[in-house]
Amino acid sequence: MNQCDPPKENAGPESTKDHLAECPWCAEEMAEDQELMGLIQQSLWDSLAHQSPSPEVWDRIRARLPERKQVRWSDRLVWTWPRLLSDAVVVGLLLALVGLALLRPPWASKRDVPSLPTASQTDDQVEWRGVEEQVPEHVHENGEPTVSAMLPGGTGLFDAMTSEGLLNVGYLYRLKRGPARWEGPARPGSAVTGGSGARNLLP
Amino acid sequence: MGSDKELIARTQAGDLSAFECLFHKYQNQIYRTALGITGDHDMAEEILQDCFLKAFRHMNHLHGDYSLLPWLYRITVNLSYDYLRRHKWRSWLAPLEDFANCLIGADDSRVTSPEKQAEREELQALIRVGIADLNINYRVVIVLHYLQGFSLEEIAYVLDCPVGTVKSRLHYARKALKRRFEKNQRLVGEVVYEPV
């Protein structure tokens, strides 16, 4: 396209047609292009439109189809057994996990937090002070009752040890003298229960 | 012969005669497309064979409303790319003229005078060499558009690329052919008007 202004880029077919009607150079170039396209089409058509594959092609295809059908079962076995094996392993693992979850051993039901010692275990080493505040009650995900206690170092969550259904929460201080027999949880204080509490926090 | 839908359903049920009907229905179109792209009779036959074997293998994935021919073209074009890549040595051994000669099979029944025939043959030979010389991406769109009469959208489906890409490839292919054509015309002109 030379010696004239090309049509605007966004111009539609109508304006292109108008332009071609007015511009002899573009019209000439368009005619040349169309002639070339005709030549390409004609050339391809003349050279390819009468070509045909040899009749043996179908015979070759036909010969390979039943062969593939016959070996299909054995092929499937050969190529799929590793996948079947891995599937079986995965299913086995899943079943084992489900079994473990259902038939949980007694040790698995205990929480990581160690159980607190009974009063008789700590009598000669710790002294007790009652907690006046109301202690909220929780039920742990494994079904065991737990309590959280407001202690000097913060709030702690503990296993609730029941004594005839009564719960009393206090916090203990380690005595400075003598080694502690019990290694308590690494928290500033521990809640323990006794049977003489006034409040029954359990349901 | 039955509709494609019916033939596909019968093939899926294991009827090989239905598959044979499909083969005979489309073999020429597939073969000519492969020949137009590769320029090699043997390769085109291998592509045709592989195309139908592949189609048979995946026939169960075809749904009733699925059009078979575009799918076959897609397989053909992909196989043509693979074959040309694998058999590059063939194109090194075979000169360009061989590719063009392979495409020669002109129907001479419409040509009346020997002069016209010669002129036409010369032009077509020029075009054939031009097409054979094109990059494979351009050659594919030229064959699909001008031999099979595919629209830009249909070519985009077969090649699995955007319509804009097809448009640009077609544009550059035409441009390359035009350049070759003009160059040759100029050479012919120089020879003709050379002062004695």
DSSP of B161-189, one letter per residue?
S-HHHHHHHHHHHHHHHHHHHHHHHHHHH
d(CA B164, CA B170): 10
Across A57-71, A130-144, B119-133, least confident range: A130-144
In a domain, B44, yes or no: yes
Suggest the residue from B26, B41, B42, B127 to mutate for an interface test with chain A (most A CBs closer than 10 A): B127
pLDDT band, residue A49 (cuts 50/70/90): confident
Of all residues in chain A, the percent with pLDDT exceeding 90 is: 6
Q: Check CB contact under 8 Å for B105 and A65.
A: no
Which residues on chain B are in Cβ contact (under 8 Å) with A75? none
For all residues of chain B together, what is the average pLDDT?
80
CA distance A4 to chain B (A): 20
Interface predicted TM-score (ipTM) of this complex, two decimals: 0.74
User: CA–CA separation, B176 vs A40, rounded Å?
Assistant: 12
Q: Name the nearest CA neighbour of B34 among B82, B101, B67.
A: B82
Q: Which residues of A touch B54 (CB under 8 A)?
A: none
Highest averaged pLDDT of the listed ranges A58-67, A77-86, B37-46: B37-46
* Residue in the structure block whose two tokens are 């077919």: A13
Distance CA B187, CA B196 (A): 17
- How close B104 gets to chain A, by Cα (Å)? 5
Flag whether B53 is in a domain. yes
Q: In what order do the strands lie in the sheet with A154-159?
A: A137-139, A145-151, A154-159
Cβ atoms within 10 Å of B124's Cβ, excluding its own: 21
CATH number where B70 lies: 1.10.1740.10
Q: Is B59 in the A-facing interface, judged by CB distances under 8 Å?
A: no
For B119-170, the pLDDT digits (tens) are 777 777 788 888 888 889 999 999 999 888 889 999 999 999 999 999 999 9
Verify whether the Cβ–Cβ distance A39 to B123 is below 8 Å.
yes
Place of tokens 């050279």: A47
CA distance A147 to A135: 7
Residue B39 lies in a domain: yes
Cα separation, A62 vs B17, whole angstroms:
10
The number of distinct structural domains making up chain B is: 1
Parent domain of B67? 1-94
pLDDT value for B140? 93
In a domain, B143, yes or no: no
Stretch among A51-55, A120-124, B66-70, B165-169 having the lowest mean pLDDT: A120-124
* Shortest CA gap B194–chain A (Å): 25
- A27-43, pLDDT tens digit by residue? 888 888 888 888 888 88
Residue B77 lies in a domain: yes
Tell me if B87 is assigned to some domain. yes
Mean pLDDT, range A71-93, rounded to an integer: 70
Q: Tell me how far apart the alpha carbons of residues B131 and B69 are, in angstroms, rounded to a whole number.
A: 24
Q: Is A154 exposed, middle or buried (0-12, 13-18, 19+ CB in 10 A)?
A: exposed
Q: Which amino acid is at B121?
A: E
Q: Is residue B25 part of a domain?
A: yes
pLDDT at A176: 36
